[in-house]
Each structure stands twice: as structure tokens, then as C-alpha cells.
Amino acid sequence: MPSPSWIHATICAVLGVTDAQGAQGDQLFISTPGPWSLDQLESVVVDVLSEENSSLPAILRLTGAIDCVLATSERSKDDDEQAALKTMRDLFCSYILIVVQFPEMFPYAGVADGTAFVRRILRDLFDGDRRDVTARAFDAICASLDEKTEQTAEIFTPVLMGLREDIGKCRTIVDSFAPSLFALKSLVKHKEIALLMTRQPTWLPAAPNGDPVDGKALEANSFLGPFFAPTAIPESAQIEENPVIQRYFLNLDHRTQADVDGTVQLLEQTAEIFTPVLMGLREDIAKCRTIVDSFAPSLFALKSLVKHKEIALLMTRQPTWLPAAPNGDPV
């Protein structure tokens, strides 16, 4: 067991607390007499969560403490210190989940709605510059959910359904669908949350007559359908609203030959350069079999390319865009 002075100093450092009068900055004075042992750590955490006048929301003090514990653990070579740090981390994670699940128990902790808090963490991690909670601290919290099925379902079912609702608003691959996709990927790395996702009623929905649904109905009604629905060409696109068609294929009788030749040459150059690039990206992402594989680089590369109308048009002219069966029928 590490020395009592090491344990006390570590608790003070990771939580930003002190048992001495005259706390400075974000440091929080805790009335529980020190030096603190691991047996007293729970009392210290409850005091932190119950403090009304803290300069830092208590929930962020705990998530920050997890990050500090993980960093300290990486530096430590002592087995006893590692065990003590794991005890601290597990307790911090446990209380964060309690606060998220029952925010009314700790009204000064900084969490009014647990689901909204988790969704804000995910939004900040994948769609913004703010980082109140680090990715590794959030991963540690999710990893602590193992075998806590009821707690997992209560906290993360509305989070998962919220992500599905958010990405359902994205109709094309140039919409901002990546944050929801990355948030889902970060969650399903954890087996309990991945299992929870497969237990949703929408995971494999059935038609009213009990038959499995397929095609567009599966896209619309299944849990993962909206995550794979964004397309390069939205169904509602009209010819007169398509700037590529307007630029290259309309009003040819009113344009000079030089203008027409120039646009044709530009399309040919685009095809020569980007056809192998597009097919390479397709090959790379085809190696990814599940949503937890590293498919994001290829997806983001494609997204960056098809923002340019000429390349988006080139993609739709590939033989594999709408392939036919050997007999000529649609597949």
C-alpha cells in the first residue's frame, strides 16, 4: 500500500481539493479532516458533489480527476500505486454515473439532466472546440458500465436514440453528419452499450404483418438506417436545381464552342485524376466490416471530394454507381 502521505497528496491533486483553510483558485476546501485515506475517499467525493459554492461544477471536477488519475497511472511504475489509482478511478466513475442517473441527489453537482449532459459531452468531443471532458475520461466512464445493464439502458438509450434522430436530419454526404457518426462509434466500442444498441426495438424492425422490412423501409425504420442514409444525390434533387447540370449540360445552343470545349476538357481532366482516387477510397472502406473499424478516414476523404460538384458528378458516372445484374436487370 502506498504511504498515507502519497494517498492524501494524490487525492488533493487529482480532485483539486484541500483540507487546509485558505484554498486558492479553483481549489476546493473540504471539511472532512485529513490526511485522507482510500477508505475516506467516498466521503470526500460526496463532499465535493454537495458543495454549493464551488468555482468549478462538481461533475467536471470528477471527470477532470479521472483524467488526472489516468495520467498519473501512466507515469507510475509502482504496482501498489497503480492499484490505489484504479480504486480512485473506479469510485469517480461510479459517482459520475450516479449523478447522471439521479441528478436530483446532488443538486449542486452541475447536472440538471443526465441525458443532456452525456449528449453535450459527445457534441463537444466531436463537433466543437470546447473540451470540458476528455475522450479518455469519457471512455473510462463508459468502460465502468460493464455488467450494469439497467444503469446502462437508463442512461444511454435516450442518448443512442438522440444520435439517430440527429443524423436523420442529414440528407446528403455534405451535411454535417460526422459528429453523430463518430459519437456512435465512440459509444459502441464499449460492449455494454453496443449490446444495448442491438436490443432496441428498431434494431431489426418488422413490417405490420410480421415480415422483415427491407429496402427504403429498412433505411427509414431500423436503428442504423439513418447512419447509412446520407447520399451524394438527394432524392428531392431536381434537374433545374442541380448546379452541375446547369453548368455543363444546359443552354448548349446559347454557348460558344470554346466555352463548351473548355467545360468538356475540365470534366475529362477531373475524370483522369480522380477516378482512381475514388475507386481507391471505395477499396479502402470495403476492408472495414463493422462501424467500429477505422472507416472514418476514407469517409471523410470522400466527403471532402464530393463537396466539389465535378467530382460528385464523376462519382455518379462510375460503372458501379448503379450496377446491373448479368442479365441486365437492376440489382
Band of the pLDDT at 331, cuts 50, 70, 90?
Answer: low
Of 186, 176, 81, 207, the closest CA to residue 138 belongs to 186
Whether residue 238 is predicted with pLDDT greater than 60 in this model: the reply is no
More confidently predicted of 112 and 1 = 112
What is the percentage of the chain residues whose pLDDT exceeds 70? 78
Helices and strands in the chain, H and E counts = 15, 2
Band of the pLDDT at 143, cuts 50, 70, 90?
Answer: confident
Asked if 163 and 194 count as a contact pair (C-beta separation under 8 A), the reply is no
Band of the pLDDT at 259, cuts 50, 70, 90?
Answer: confident
Mean pLDDT, to the nearest integer, of 41-61?
85
Of 301, 98, 60, 299, the closest CA to residue 180 belongs to 299
Least confident of 68-82, 99-113, 290-304: 290-304
Q: Which three cell numbers stand for residue 225?
A: 438506417
The residue assigned the cell 479521472 is 66
Mean pLDDT, to the nearest integer, of 249-257?
67
Among 201-205, 255-259, 263-267, 324-328, the range with the most confident prediction by mean pLDDT is: 201-205
Whether residue 246 is predicted with pLDDT greater than 60 in this model: the reply is no
pLDDT of residue 79: 92
The number of residues making up the chain comes to 331
What is the percentage of the chain residues whose pLDDT exceeds 90? 18
d(CA 158, CA 103): 16
Band of the pLDDT at 71, cuts 50, 70, 90?
Answer: very high
d(CA 265, CA 17): 68
CA-CA distances (angstroms) from residue 95 to 25, 45, 145, 211, 270?
Answer: 24, 8, 12, 44, 56
pLDDT of residue 96: 92
pLDDT of residue 231: 66
Band of the pLDDT at 92, cuts 50, 70, 90?
Answer: very high
pLDDT of residue 132: 74
d(CA 55, CA 52): 9
* Phi, psi at 9, each rounded to 5°: -65, -35
Asked if 95 and 145 count as a contact pair (C-beta separation under 8 A), the reply is no
The residue assigned the cell 442512461 is 155
Whether residue 295 is predicted with pLDDT greater than 90 in this model: the reply is no
d(CA 185, CA 180): 9
Mean pLDDT, to the nearest integer, of 268-285?
78
Asked if 144 and 97 count as a contact pair (C-beta separation under 8 A), the reply is yes
Whether residue 243 is predicted with pLDDT greater than 90 in this model: the reply is no
d(CA 60, CA 177): 27
Whether residue 95 is predicted with pLDDT greater than 80 in this model: the reply is yes
Of 13, 14, 16, 19, the closest CA to residue 27 belongs to 16
pLDDT of residue 239: 46
Least confident of 100-104, 107-111, 144-148: 144-148
Of 151, 157, 149, the closest CA to residue 95 belongs to 151
d(CA 152, CA 196): 8
Element (H, E) at 221: helix 215-221
Asked if 21 and 95 count as a contact pair (C-beta separation under 8 A), the reply is no
In this structure, the dihedral spanned by the alpha carbons of residues 220, 225, 227 and 229, taken in order and rounded to 10 degrees, is -60
pLDDT of residue 273: 75
More confidently predicted of 229 and 223 = 223
Mean pLDDT, to the nearest integer, of 209-226?
74
pLDDT per residue over 166-181, tens digit each? 888 877 666 777 788 8
CA-CA distances (angstroms) from residue 290 to 24, 185, 199, 293?
Answer: 49, 10, 17, 6
Whether residue 89 is predicted with pLDDT greater than 50 in this model: the reply is yes
Mean pLDDT, to the nearest integer, of 243-252?
56
Mean per-residue pLDDT of the chain: 79
- pTM of structure: 0.65
